[in-house]
Amino acid sequence: MPTDSISRQLAGIQYPLNLSFKLLALANQTTVTDASGRTVLYTKQKLLKFREHVEIFTDNTRSTRLAEIKANKVIDWSARYHATDADGVAIGSVGRRGWRSIFKAHYEVFNPGDDSPDFSIREENPWAKVLDSFLGQIPIIGMFTGFFCHPRYVATRADGTPAMRITKQSAFFEGKFQIEKLSDLTPREELNLFLSFMMLILLERSRG
């Protein structure tokens, strides 16, 4: 279960959530606000690391760390990304589905210490991601792809029930995404999915 500090931070969250980051920033910095405009989480990815390491704070002052996400090995397609709270207690983990994820994103979300995934995350409109990646490499045109290419990812349970969705929004020189909760979730499931989506966006961003 989430610790008290995380439970307090997530209490009263109003969906949809809005996730944003600057495209031209040197280090990956992500801000998440809820529908009321309240800052829910702020993340900053450490530079020059052989393994992914993302610290998660309550806001951009970075005075209070809530959690962190670390890769279990030097970055590769089979790495698992483990989330822990500020006391080092496991929250859950997310991993790419190996080589299947190169052309179409497929991630799996796990309970702490569990090798059977709770959720699968897949692209709902993979051609939007392909078009976004391709056009994004073209000078000038690439600056405008955020206005008409909107990749969308959905997390589903083993029985196919949709639980949470993240959709890219129109933006200029900025990455913007909206997170919707689609079904009832326990606090642990909600937090684990939320952090998994943030990790997915950081990883997919690096893919182009």
Task: Give the pLDDT of residue 206.
Answer: 53
Task: Give the pLDDT of residue 124.
Answer: 81
Task: Give the pLDDT of residue 145.
Answer: 56
Query: Are residues 99 and 77 in contact, defined by beta-carbon separation less than 8 angstroms?
Result: yes
Task: Give the pLDDT of residue 11.
Answer: 79
Which residues, at least 6 apart from 49, have a Cβ–Cβ distance to it below 8 Å?
none
180-203 as b/e, with b when 16 or more CB fall inside 10 Å?
Answer: ebeeebeebbbbbbbbbbbbbbbb
Task: Give the pLDDT of residue 208.
Answer: 43
Task: Give the pLDDT of residue 48.
Answer: 45
Residues paired with residue 205 on neighbouring β-strands, in sequence order: none
Q: State how many domains the chain has.
A: 1
25-50 as b/e, with b when 16 or more CB fall inside 10 Å?
Answer: eeebebbbbbeeeeebbbbbbeeeee
Q: What is the CATH number of the domain that holds 186?
A: 2.40.160.200
Q: What is the residue range of 107's domain?
A: 4-207
**Among 202, 208, 205, which residue's Cα sits nearest to residue 46?**
202
Show the low-confidence residues of the chain (pLDDT under 50).
48, 50, 101, 208
Task: Give the pLDDT of residue 50.
Answer: 46
Task: Give the pLDDT of residue 15.
Answer: 94
Helices marked H in the chain — which ranges?
4-10, 126-135, 187-207
